[in-house]
Chain A
Amino acid sequence: MEKKFVGRVVGGGNLIGEAVVSHQGVNTLATFQKSALKNAKQVFSSDQNNPDIYKLNLTGKILCLPKTIGSTTGGLVIQTICSMGINPSAMLFSEEIDSLACSGIILARNWENSKIIAIDKLGEEFLNYVKTGDKIEIKEDGTVIVIR
Chain B
Amino acid sequence: MKLTKEEQEILNGAQGETKAKILKTLVEFGDVFGAEKLVPVTHDGHLVTSFGIGLIKPLFRIMDEIIDAGIKTKYPFTVDPRPIDYKNVKCGLLDKLIFSKIMYSQQKRYEEQLQKIGLKNVNGFTCTCYMDEVGNIPKYGDVLSWAESSAVVYANSVLGARCNRNSGMLDIFGAIIGKVPYFGLLTDEGRKADWIIEVKTTKKPEAQILGSAIGLKVMEDVPYVKGLDKFLGTELTDDAKSYLKDFGAATASNGAVGLYHIENLTPEAKKLGNKLIKQNVKTYVIDDEELERVYKSYPVLWKNKEAKPKLCFIGCPHLSYNQLVNWAENIINGLNETGNKKVKVRTILTTSPDVRNKFEQTELYKKLMKTGAKVSSICPLMYTNNPLAGKKPIITSSNKLRTYSSSKYLKDEEILNVIIGKEAK
Q: State the Cβ distance, A118 to closest chain B Cβ, in Å.
A: 9
Q: State the Cβ distance, B174 to closest chain A Cβ, in Å.
A: 11
Chain A interface: which of B47-55, B88-96, B259-267, B321-329?
B47-55
- Residue on A nearest B48 in the bound complex, by CB: A72
Asked if A100 is an interface residue, CB under 8 A from chain B, the answer is: yes
Interface string of B248-291 (1 = CB under 8 A from A): 00000101100000000000000000000000000000000000
- Residue on A nearest B171 in the bound complex, by CB: A72
Alpha-carbon gap, A72 to B406, bound state (A): 20
Asked if A133 is an interface residue, CB under 8 A from chain B, the answer is: no
- The A65-100 residues at the B interface (CB cut-off 8 A) are 66-76, 79-80, 83-84, 97-100
A71 touches B169 (CB 8 A): no
Alpha-carbon gap, A99 to B180, bound state (A): 13
A interface, size bucket = 35 or more
B299 touches A49 (CB 8 A): yes
Residues of A within 8 A of B29 (CB): 99, 102-103, 106
Residues of B within 8 A of A36 (CB): 55
Q: Quick one: which of A49, A73, A98, A110 contacts B28, CB cutoff 8 A? A: A110
Alpha-carbon gap, A58 to B55, bound state (A): 19
Q: State the Cβ distance, B94 to closest chain A Cβ, in Å.
A: 16
Q: State the Cβ distance, A35 to closest chain B Cβ, in Å.
A: 10
Residues of A within 8 A of B387 (CB): 37-38
Q: State the Cβ distance, A134 to closest chain B Cβ, in Å.
A: 24
Q: Quick one: which of A25, A33, A70, A76 contacts B149, CB cutoff 8 A? A: A70
Asked if B219 is an interface residue, CB under 8 A from chain A, the answer is: yes
Asked if B103 is an interface residue, CB under 8 A from chain A, the answer is: yes
> B-contacting residues of A (Cβ < 8 Å)?
10, 25, 27, 29-30, 33, 36-39, 48-49, 66-76, 79-80, 83-84, 97-100, 102-104, 106-107, 110-112
Going nearest first, the 10 A-B pairs with the smallest beta carbon separation are: A75-B167, A103-B167, A76-B168, A69-B256, A72-B147, A72-B149, A73-B168, A103-B170, A100-B167, A83-B58
> What would be 14 A-B contacts, judged by CB atoms less than 8 Å apart?
A25-B255, A29-B404, A30-B403, A39-B55, A71-B404, A73-B168, A75-B170, A76-B48, A76-B59, A79-B169, A80-B56, A99-B165, A107-B58, A111-B58
Alpha-carbon gap, A75 to B256, bound state (A): 13
Alpha-carbon gap, A73 to B152, bound state (A): 12
Q: In the complex where A27-B403, A98-B220 touch, is A72 in contact with B167 (Cβ < 8 A)?
A: yes
- Residue on B nearest A28 in the bound complex, by CB: B167
- Residue on A nearest B390 in the bound complex, by CB: A34
Asked if B32 is an interface residue, CB under 8 A from chain A, the answer is: yes
Q: State the Cβ distance, A18 to closest chain B Cβ, in Å.
A: 26
Asked if B25 is an interface residue, CB under 8 A from chain A, the answer is: yes
A103 touches B169 (CB 8 A): yes
Alpha-carbon gap, A30 to B403, bound state (A): 7
Interface string of B27-65 (1 = CB under 8 A from A): 011001100000000000000110001011111001000
